[in-house]
Structure 1
């Protein structure tokens, strides 16, 4: 569907984004080498590794033109970046928020997985067969389940999950007045669109095909603008994690100028693609409509 020039461009942009993220990741060293408690180091390391891994996967999908699937992974990167930012927003609140993320939400997830495994085992003919051992091993012991159920009643679970969900995180960080989180609300539209794709509702199922049915000029212009936005978002989320992490550990922020310069250079290229798409999709003649 796309010509050779388009295929080459999409791969080039994705590779530039991938090389940029890999070049900037070492800047996270002051955060990784901070004097964390062992469990804190593990939690922060897990979250930073997961966001970096999902970022690379999204960029690899971009290289092959699978932008809608890359949107889903970029949504995950955003969520991980928001949770990292919320947890490390303030040293005073860090211990409580770390405990909520690493212990409370983890325990709630185990309870949910327990129930889903029970549902699976309830519908198969031989639940005791060795092939279902992995599912049985996910089941909680009766006393453990009872303890968790008593600790995390429905109201408590809902409050925690709402606070750590996308809307709760964006609301809390945006209302803080912190300059680092000033523009987070602008991500809601992209997050919502990725959610449509992820959940495969009518909007998510129809939008990709709508693009495929456009004229080649319109389709190619929006394709490049879309990829540019994805790469730009991934780099922006990385910079957000760097900014939050450096501030939390008290590191010298001078090295972040390198990150800003790298990201700005790529964003200038993507801005041209966006401008081209706007001219194609909304030509000047339409301004009087």
Structure 2
């Protein structure tokens, strides 16, 4: 469907991004080896970092095959995981409380919600006691566990916690904090919103890809390259933020962070001109209205 030039460029850029990401992953080791973590804290952070890195690789592989809309959903997940990591490690005085909320409170609330969904599923099948449904029955909580979670987290508190740890809540908190490292994170909001349309298959999400493919070859190719470059750049930017916030929290020498930033910048130089080329195709100066004279 697309030209060989599009496939070769996006494949090359995505492979470079993937190789750089794998090259930089070991720089996260000082965060993982930090002696100040309690074991549950280390497990939580390791799980979150692993999930972000794994999904980053998957997103880049999709970009390499020009599956940009599917990659958009994965970059949305990477962005949210990075946000949560940055929020957890934003400051030492809040770390233990935020870790408890993320690793315990939200986990318990998640089990509570999973239980209700499992009950709904079992209620729709003719023989819920059949062996085939044991994996679902194993998700059910005991009456004591249900009561304990229900007493600990009322509906109002559940909504409050989930809102605080949702994308909008996290973005707002980090933006208001004045944190220099996460100040630019609000720039991810637009991409996150677009990915939400795709993820939920609403009318906007299902129509965007088709509309793009119906454009002229010149317009379509220009936006494909720009879109792919942005996805690769966002993935690497999220890695940089996780690295920088982690090093700041453990008070480690920032030289590896600076070197990582330089390598990411050099890779992004390959995208120089892509956005400008798209703008010149999509919004040629000859079609722009002249500026109003004073």
**TM-score tier (shorter):** over 0.9
Give me the whole-angstrom Cα distance separating, in 1, the residues matched to 2:169 and 2:237: 20
Q: What's the counterpart of residue 17 of structure 2?
A: 17
Rounded Cα–Cα distance in structure 1 between residues aligned with 2:87 and 2:150: 26
- For 1:287 and 1:51, locate their aligned partners in 2 and report how far apart those are by CA, in whole Å: 41
Q: Following superposition, which runs of at least 4 residues in structure 1 exceed 4 angstroms of deviation? A: none
Q: Report the Cα offset of residue 288 of structure 1.
A: 2.2
Listed as ranges, the matches of 1:91-102 within 5 Å are: 91-102=92-103
1:68-107 alpha-carbon deviations (Å, 9 max, x no partner): 0000000000000000000100011000000000000000
Alignment deviations for residues 85-132 of structure 1 (CA, whole Å, 9 cap, x no partner): 001000110000000000000000000000000000000011111110
CA separation in 2, counterparts of 1:4 and 1:171? Answer: 42
State the distance in 1 between where 2:28 and 2:57 align: 16
1:107 aligns with 2:108: yes
Q: Secondary structure at the match of 2:272?
A: helix
* Secondary structure of 2:255's aligned partner: coil
Does 1:147 find its partner at 2:153? no
Structure 1 residue 218 corresponds to structure 2 residue 219:
yes
Cα displacement string for residues 141-162 of structure 1 (whole angstroms, at most 9, x for unaligned residues): 0111111011010011011001
3-state SS in 2 of match to 1:102 = helix
CA–CA distance in 2 between the matches of 1:63 and 1:267?
Answer: 16
Instruction: Kindly report the root-mean-square deviation, in angstroms, between the aligned alpha carbons of the 2 structures.
Output: 0.8
Q: 1:2 maps to what in 2?
A: 2
| Structure 1, gaps ≥5 residues long | none
Structure 1-normalised TM-score?
A: 0.98
Please give the residue correspondences for 1:1-289 in structure 2 after superposition, counting only pairs within 5 Å.
1-35=1-35, 36-288=37-289
Q: Displacement, 1:42?
A: 0.3
- Note the C-alpha offset of 1:32: 0.6
Gaps of 5+ in 2: none
- Give the Å deviation of 1:10: 1.3
Following superposition, the deviation at residue 241 of structure 1 comes to 0.2
